Chains A and B, each alone.
Chain A
Amino acid sequence: MLRLFEAIGVFTRNQIITLIQFVKLCNDTLFWIFVAPFTRRRHLKRESIFYQMVFMGIRSVSIVFFVTFFTGFVLAMQAAYQLKQVGAVVYVASLVAVSLARELGPVLTALVVAGRVGAAITAEIGSMAVTEQLEALDVMAINPIRFLVVPRVIALFFMLPCLTIIGNFVGMFGGYLIGVFNLKINSAHYIYITFKFLSLKDIYTGLSKTFVFAIIIAMVGCYQGLNTKGGAQGVGKATTLSVVTSFILIILADAVLTALYYFSNV
């Protein structure tokens, strides 16, 4: 019995320490983004931000394309299956558009990016941590947060919404293919119905979530990377933990934000 309490105690203590370290990392990151460029004249490195933007954004387009296209495709088929029974097949268009813009586009894109980019961030920083590279940065008086974390956070903050917009379009196009070629809805009519029910509100509530998701993916990825210990095995563990934590936090944040919009009638 005592063992159990001891285990619970140790677990809670470790979780609290992790939380404090994570908050401190976020705090330091905000410092290096917003305060240090003015007080310490340490300007943000544009090159490395752009480099990360290319890696995180442009190189992720194909996989986001793939996932959201088939989501829209499947969504249209499933919706048509139900809507046929009430003779409202034409509303497949609006259903696909609204559910993608509000929910599926942002969340699926974030999950895909967490798997690709979040894992890459942790693996890269983590292997730097286990091969003395972070220590070397420290000894050269180069702050690892400024040098590694800040460009990644900024890059993903701007790229994830862009990827989501692409994802939304592509998903709707997937639905459109089913609508026009399988359900025989007139192309112009499909597009008309799509935009009739899709309001700007749907799009920006969806996109606003992606900024939060981006911060989650980048910060969790960097945190796990910076705290990697124990060689190659440690890097593997940290990467897994990074992706799993990102997934859970994305879903949680999505639930909270959606509830917020829902109850404030946005």
Chain B
Amino acid sequence: MENREVVISVRDLEKTLGGLKVLDGISLDIYKGETFVIMGGSGCGKTTFLRHLIGALKPDKGHIYYANKDITSLTSAEIDNFRRKFGMVFQSAALLDSLNVEDNVALPLKEHTKLDDNIIKIIVKMKLALVGLRGFENLMTSELSGGMKKRVGLARAIAMDPELVFYDEPSSGLDPIVTAVIDDLILDLSKKLLITSIVVSHDMNSVFRIADRVAMLHKGKILQIGTRDEIKNSSNPIVQQFIQGKTEGPVDFFKKGDDYLTELVDK
């Protein structure tokens, strides 16, 4: 494991938002070609962490290195250069409503390359075929189902042949079959195209299907980081509660019962 090439290296990342310490000293390495899953409960800071990785937020402390460059200290033009090397799949797909499927996938190519329109058309067809949407070029985004939107979003994310693809909750709002399809796509892409995938998710089935390694975030800190099996057999009670989806455990969801009555009556 140690001799593999590190793509992204995060050191002591800290961020306070609205008086709350959302990220509290996060350090981790992501290796080339692996599928790395960041999981954790709602509000544990995983989305904030992802936003730092894509350069949308600047940390209060700490560094993120990509190809030996600290992306936390880049100018906006340099960040744009970095962003051309990765793709991102948004939770809501975030396709542009005003464009049809083909133009959505073609958008990064049209904006950042000088390729001929015919070549772009061919590339778009290839990318759409990869996500199983051959022949859907001329539909508007409003005519697509949730799963199709996400697959178009994925096609758009890989349009520029990125080294890295970020996924923000790829399975949210999708039925189990479509989730499995998306998971297979993620695996396929990392195997066929050697893309490094960084996935934020809290869908356990999906996590254990795709992950090479998993980092569990809790209250802004890394609770545990390890291979899929290490996490599955973790002795940490919080990790286990999360994996099994129990309401009882170290993370209490409900307030303790004693003061409930006084809270109801008291005004």
Contact = CB atoms under 8 A, between A and B. Distances in A.
- Give the most central of B77, B80, B112: most A CB within 10 Å: B80
Main secondary structure of the interface of A (DSSP, over half): helix
Nearest to A142: B111
B9 interface: no
A12 interface: no
A199 to B, nearest CB: 44
A139 B80 contact: no
Interface in A75-128: 124, 127-128
B94 A132 contact: yes
Interface string B104-126: 00011001100000000000000
A140 B83 contact: yes
Nearest to A127: B97
B98 interface: yes
Interface size class of A (residues with CB under 8 A): 10 to 19
A195 B56 CA distance: 60
A135 B90 contact: yes
A188 interface: no
A136 interface: yes
A128 B56 contact: no
B111 A139 contact: no
Contact of B80 (A127, A131, A141, A147): A141
A135 B56 contact: yes
A147 B107 CA distance: 11
A136 B98 contact: no
Interface residues of B, number: 22
B148 interface: no
Contact of B94 (A124, A135, A147): A135
A132 B84 contact: no
A23 B97 CA distance: 28
Contacts of A139: 54, 56, 83, 88
A128 B81 CA distance: 24
A130 to B, nearest CB: 10
A132 B90 contact: yes
Nearest to A140: B108
Given A132-B90, A132-B91, A135-B90, A141 B97 contact: no
A57 B94 CA distance: 29
Given A128-B96, A128-B97, A140 B90 contact: no
A143 B111 CA distance: 10
B73 interface: no
B92 interface: yes
Nearest to A47: B110
Contact of B108 (A132, A142, A143): A142
Given A142-B107, A142-B111, A131 B94 contact: yes
Contacts of A128: 96-97
B111 A136 contact: no
Contacts of A141: 79-81, 83-84, 108, 111-112
B54 A124 contact: no
Contacts of B97: 127-128, 133
Contacts of B111: 140-142, 147
Contacts of B81: 141
13 contacts: A124-B98, A128-B97, A132-B91, A132-B92, A133-B95, A135-B90, A136-B90, A137-B96, A138-B56, A139-B83, A141-B79, A141-B84, A142-B108
Interface of B: 54, 56, 77, 79-81, 83-84, 88, 90-92, 94-98, 107-108, 111-112, 156
Interface of A: 40, 124, 127-128, 131-133, 135-143, 147
10 nearest CB pairs, A to B: A136-B94, A132-B94, A141-B80, A141-B83, A139-B88, A140-B108, A132-B90, A133-B94, A142-B111, A132-B92
